[in-house]
Amino acid sequence: MACLKSILALFLLFLIISGSDSMPRSKTVRRGGRIIKPCKRMVLYFHDIIYNGKNAKNATSSIVGAPAWGNKTILAGQSHFGDVVIFDDPITLDNNLHSTPVGRAQGFYIYDKKDVFTSWLGFSFVFNSTEHKGSLNFAGADPLMNKTRDISVIGGTGDFFMARGIATLMTDAFEGEVYFRLCVDIKLYECW
């Protein structure tokens, strides 16, 4: 029953995604009547492959905590409430899982609402490419059923020393409850 519910929810999510234009619009930010433009903008993808009991080699994330009514192999019922997932996902410049990664998205998410898929994210983009070295740190609520969700860029190191801004997340694709591809539109409003 819970499974059927999540399949229905995913189907709904699919309808929302397929009805959307590919890039989120950027919100106009004003301060004292002046329009503030981001000092840096990057669009990147990251790929989350959740361990499901069969894909140990391929998985990039794992359920490490589950509520009493669930287990650590399959995301729990009741909108996965109580599940804690740790990830180390490849970051790519385009939407291809097999593109050369420019870094890793490392951190965790927790599902924190029982009646609708909602998570809380805390993670870093750790860049290791010729173009970027350093990290960006992200945190915030992720109401997954929304087409776009804004989370905070709370800081950075290296090339992103002291950076701050907003990251708009979009679920770009998913396969069952194993593979999730997220598009991240990063807008930094503080650059050093």
Ligand X SMILES: *[C@@H]1O[C@H](CO)[C@@H](O)[C@H](O)[C@H]1NC(C)=O
Q: How far is the CB of 25 from ligand X (least distance, A)?
A: 13
Taking contact as CB under 6 A, which single stretch among the options 84-92, 115-123, 143-151, 184-192 is the one that binds ligand X? 143-151
Instruction: Indicate whether 128 belongs to the interface with ligand X (CB under 6 A).
Output: yes
Instruction: Indicate whether 152 belongs to the interface with ligand X (CB under 6 A).
Output: no
Tokens found for residue 2: 């819970």
Instruction: Indicate whether 167 belongs to the interface with ligand X (CB under 6 A).
Output: no
**Count residues contacting ligand X (CB under 6 A)?**
14
Instruction: Indicate whether 146 belongs to the interface with ligand X (CB under 6 A).
Output: yes
Q: How far is the CB of 83 from ligand X (least distance, A)?
A: 11
User: Could you give the CA distance from residue 181 to residue 175 in angstroms, rounded to a whole number?
Assistant: 9
Cα angle 38-44-49, degrees, rounded to a multiple of 5: 145
DSSP character string of 37-103: PPSEEEEEEEEEEB--SS-TTT-SEEEEE--TT--SSS--TTTTTT-EEEEEEEEESSS-TTSPPSE
Task: State the binding string over 20-39 for ligand X (x if CB under 6 A, else -).
Answer: --------------------
Q: Residue 112 or 150: which CB sits closer to ligand X? A: 150
- Binding ligand X by CB under 6 A: which of 179, 185, 186, 188? 179
Task: State the binding string over 44-73 for ligand X (x if CB under 6 A, else -).
Answer: -----x--------x------------x-x
| Cβ-count burial 27-53 (b if 16+ within 10 Å, e if not) | eeeeeeeeeeebeeebebbbbbbbbbe
Q: Say if residue 76 is exposed, middle or buried (CB neighbours under 10 Å; 0-12, 13-18, 19+).
A: buried
Residues forming contacts to ligand X in the complex (CB under 6 A) are: 49, 58, 71, 73-74, 97, 128, 143, 146, 149-150, 175, 178-179
